[in-house]
């Protein structure tokens, strides 16, 4: 049995510029064409009595195998009936049969798939066994046997065929449900007391919906072809006009009236092709988001590129504005940041959530989120302008001269590869090392970042190590190329307090040993006090204050900085500097 599972990822559509699926499909040429053709067939079926001039069953003996003309638009068939009228009325019966097969397949397969995927293992095993057995049955033989037993009703045959098509829906739905049922938001829904039925209808069906629509479209094409095939074999109701029946009649008279075969053939092929094209078009929209939405026009960059930074400044930002496409033009999220990071310095980029710290860091890495652009400004790295560099040029810098340590160590390691191979591959491609050299260097680095048994970690899978060890592994990978600049985005947030201190200590040591410059993105003044030499405070997309850590802690000038410092908890252990405690009235000034 056909299992036309649409390979799709329903979550792929959840981009920032997701448009309504229907609109997106209609905007793609193939999607629009297929919808138009299916609509035309449906309308023809609905308004058959208005479209067809003649009764499809009326026989005119002198029009047997007649050529087109004289009121018979496409000629007469072997019994003297109007081929056009039979095709128009045939659209009704053919679509109804298709609808029955698809409806039965979807209802049986999706409900069983939801139940088997969501509920325990026993139900899944039983249902899987049943549907596997159904798939193993030869559809045509089963349909012929049922035809013998049930009589000449194509609609009953389509019910049986629908059941035979249901395993495709079952497998697709079960797999999707199993993938989503352990997501944290589903757990949260369970904890909040929602019933299983409510969770399935609210959270699970949303994920299943789009792939099931694709599967439905594919299965509709298959059902139509099989139905026409059965009718062609003479297994339909001879009194009812259908496309398969018209094809059979034309085939019997092919030598007398060859053109009569063309019309039912065209009707079947175009409709089936439309279903398949529609499925492809929806899948494309889901997987790739369809053709890119038109971006608002980029504003002209006013900043002068031709500038130089002081010799001891490694990274220099001037007037950097970052934006994302919004409903009415660009939505600016960083509004003209000026920032200098000196060679060998650890700079803390600090501010509350959403203040633009990560966006500023990602702009330097050339890794803004989908649709994100640096709208204006200049970013100099070691005297070289980064804005305007191609992806390839940026690729040459990232992972070599500019390294990155992320916030979530675990989600940045691929669970299907050993730690060692994830460290060795980049060293071979980026540094041109041989496998042996890369392996030795990776083991060295794992030892250097304080992992007690580098060999064991090297051979381990990510799930076999702790979060703190994973962060050390990522740091080892980042510093393995001895980068000039390390950007660390909240590298300790996901770790427990003692491990946080160890990781900060490690970064400090590595910075001193390799002479790296570090930009530390953080919302935590404790981290700033612990490791940073200077600090830039961000608020609502702007830098409001930049100073040496000692000076800023001793003498914050901006109210926002004072508030942030006042919010540092009394028991935060600050090893290098002690933030002064501000009285609430002082902080509010
Ligand atoms: N992909 C995106 N599309 C649109 N807006 C975005 C996108 N990513 C971030 N933003 C917006 O940019 C602004 C700054 O985000 P950013 O991630 O830099 O904040 P942050 O200071 O690093 O906060 P946090 O500490 O919570 O990560 C926010 O208003 C955010 O909504």
DSSP string of 488-524, one letter each residue: EESTTTTS-HHHHHHHHHHHHHHHHHHT-EEEEEES-
Q: Is the pLDDT score of 2 beyond 50?
A: no
In this predicted model, what pLDDT tens digit does every residue of 185-205 receive, in sequence order? 888 788 777 888 888 888 888
Q: Is the pLDDT score of 92 beyond 70?
A: yes
What pLDDT sits at residue 339?
Answer: 94
Q: Is the pLDDT score of 9 beyond 50?
A: no
What pLDDT sits at residue 430?
Answer: 76
Ligand 1 atom having least distance to the Cα of 368: 1
Ligand 1 atom having least distance to the Cα of 407: 27
Proportion of the chain above pLDDT 70, given as a percent: 89
The verdict on domain 10-45+86-288 having CATH code 1.10.3720.10 is yes
In this predicted model, what pLDDT tens digit does every residue of 409-419 receive, in sequence order? 887 888 888 99
What is the best residue among 354, 493, 525 to mutate for testing ligand 1's pocket, by most ligand atoms within 8 Å of CB? Answer: 354
Q: Is the pLDDT score of 309 beyond 90?
A: no
Assign 306 a pLDDT band (cuts: 50, 70, 90). low
What value does the mean pLDDT of the chain take? 85
Residue nearest to atom 25 of ligand 1 (CA): 353
Q: Is the pLDDT score of 538 beyond 90?
A: yes
Residue nearest to atom 1 of ligand 1 (CA): 369
What pLDDT sits at residue 289?
Answer: 59
Assign 304 a pLDDT band (cuts: 50, 70, 90). low
Question: How is residue 264 written in tokens?
Answer: 């039912």
| Distance of alpha carbon 17 from alpha carbon 15, whole angstroms | 5
pTM of the model: 0.63
Q: What is the largest CA-CA distance in the chain?
A: 107
For the segment 94-101, the average pLDDT, to the nearest whole number, is 95
Question: How is residue 167 written in tokens?
Answer: 């395993």
What pLDDT sits at residue 44?
Answer: 95
Assign 524 a pLDDT band (cuts: 50, 70, 90). confident
Q: Is the pLDDT score of 436 beyond 70?
A: yes
Q: Is the pLDDT score of 428 beyond 60?
A: yes
Of 227-236, 267-276, 479-488, 533-542, where does mean pLDDT reach its minimum? 227-236
In this predicted model, what pLDDT tens digit does every residue of 144-183 receive, in sequence order? 888 888 777 888 889 999 999 999 999 999 999 988 888 8
Residues 6 or more apart in contact with residue 49 via CB below 8 angstroms: none
Residues 6 or more apart in contact with residue 388 via CB below 8 angstroms: 305
Query: Around Cβ 156, how many Cβ atoms within 10 Å?
Result: 15
What pLDDT sits at residue 399?
Answer: 78
Question: How is residue 24 written in tokens?
Answer: 């997106």
Q: Is the pLDDT score of 336 beyond 80?
A: yes
**ipTM for the predicted complex:** 0.96
| Distance of alpha carbon 394 from alpha carbon 588, whole angstroms | 44
Cβ atoms of residues 64 and 32 within 8 Å: no
For the segment 379-400, the average pLDDT, to the nearest whole number, is 88
CA of 468 to the centre of ligand 1 (A): 25
Domain boundaries of the chain, sorted by first residue = 10-45+86-288
What pLDDT sits at residue 303?
Answer: 60
Of 127-131, 344-348, 478-482, where does mean pLDDT reach its minimum? 478-482
In this predicted model, what pLDDT tens digit does every residue of 23-33 receive, in sequence order? 888 888 989 99
For the segment 226-231, the average pLDDT, to the nearest whole number, is 90
What pLDDT sits at residue 588?
Answer: 39
In this predicted model, what pLDDT tens digit does every residue of 391-405 receive, in sequence order? 888 888 887 899 998
| Distance of alpha carbon 246 from alpha carbon 265, whole angstroms | 9
What is the best residue among 333, 355, 404, 491 to mutate for testing ligand 1's pocket, by most ligand atoms within 8 Å of CB? Answer: 333
What pLDDT sits at residue 527?
Answer: 85
More confident residue, 394 or 580: 394
Q: Would the CB of 355 count as within 6 Å of ligand 1?
A: yes
Q: Would the CB of 354 count as within 6 Å of ligand 1?
A: yes
Proportion of the chain above pLDDT 90, given as a percent: 45
For the segment 485-514, the average pLDDT, to the nearest whole number, is 85
């Amino acid at each position: 049995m056909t299992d036309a599972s649409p390979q799709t990822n329903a979550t792929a559509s959840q981009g920032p510029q997701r448009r309504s699926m229907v609109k997106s499909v209609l905007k793609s040429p193939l999607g629009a064409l297929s919808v138009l053709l299916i609509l035309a067939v449906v309308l023809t079926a609905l308004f058959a009595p208005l479209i067809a001039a003649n009764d499809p069953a009326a026989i005119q003996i002198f029009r047997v195998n007649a050529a087109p003309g004289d009121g018979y638009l496409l000629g007469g068939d072997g019994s003297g009936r109007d081929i056009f009228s039979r095709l128009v009325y045939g659209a009704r019966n053919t679509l109804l049969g298709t609808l029955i097969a698809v409806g039965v397949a979807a209802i049986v397969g999706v409900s069983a798939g939801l139940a088997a995927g969501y509920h325990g293992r026993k139900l899944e095993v039983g249902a899987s066994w049943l549907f596997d057995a159904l798939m193993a049955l030869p559809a045509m033989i089963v349909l012929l046997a049922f035809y013998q037993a049930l009589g000449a009703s194509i609609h009953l045959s389509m019910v049986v065929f629908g059941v035979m098509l249901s395993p495709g829906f079952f497998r697709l739905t079960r797999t999707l449900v199993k993938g989503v049922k352990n997501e944290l938001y589903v757990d949260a829904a369970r904890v909040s007391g929602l019933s299983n039925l409510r969770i399935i209808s609210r959270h699970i069906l949303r994920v299943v919906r789009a792939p099931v629509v694709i599967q439905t479209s594919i299965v509709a094409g298959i059902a139509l072809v099989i139905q026409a095939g059965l009718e062609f074999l003479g297994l339909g109701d001879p009194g009812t006009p259908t496309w398969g029946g018209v094809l059979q009649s034309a085939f019997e008279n092919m030598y007398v009236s060859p053109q009569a075969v063309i019309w039912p053939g065209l009707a079947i092929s175009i409709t089936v092709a439309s279903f398949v094209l529609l499925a492809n078009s929806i899948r494309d929209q889901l997987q790739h988001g369809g053709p890119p939405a038109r971006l608002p026009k980029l504003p002209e960059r006013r900043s002068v590129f031709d500038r130089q930074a002081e010799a001891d400044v490694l990274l220099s930002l001037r007037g950097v504005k970052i934006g994302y496409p919004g409903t009415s033009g660009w939505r600016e999220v960083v509004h003209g940041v000026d920032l200098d990071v000196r060679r060998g310095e650890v700079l803390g980029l600090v501010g509350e959530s959403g203040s633009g710290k990560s966006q500023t860091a990602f702009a330097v890495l050339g890794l803004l989120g989908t649709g994100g652009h640096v709208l204006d400004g200049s970013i100099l790295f070691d005297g070289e302008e980064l804005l305007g560099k191609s992806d390839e040029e940026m690729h040459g810098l990232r992972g070599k001269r500019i390294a990155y340590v992320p916030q979530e160590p675990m989600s940045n390691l691929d669970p299907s590869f050993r730690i060692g191979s994830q460290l060795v591959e980049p060293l071979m491609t980026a540094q041109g090392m041989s496998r042996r050299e890369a392996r030795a260097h990776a083991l060295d680095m794992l030892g250097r970042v304080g992992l007690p048994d580098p060999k064991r970690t090297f051979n381990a899978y990510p799930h076999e190590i702790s979060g703190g060890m994973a962060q050390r592994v990522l740091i080892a990978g980042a510093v393995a190329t001895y980068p000039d600049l390390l950007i660390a985005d909240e590298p300790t947030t996901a770790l427990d307090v003692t491990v946080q201190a160890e990781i900060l200590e490690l970064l400090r040591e590595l910075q001193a040993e390799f002479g790296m410059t570090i930009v530390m993105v953080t919302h935590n003044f404790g981290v700033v006090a612990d490791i940073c030499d200077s600090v830039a405070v961000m608020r609502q997309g702007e830098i409001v204050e930049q100073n040496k850590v000692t000076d800023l802690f001793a003498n914050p000038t901006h109210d926002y900085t004072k508030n942030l410092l006042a919010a540092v908890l009394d028991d935060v252990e600050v090893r290098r500097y002690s933030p002064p405690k501000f009285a609430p009235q002082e902080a509010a000034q």
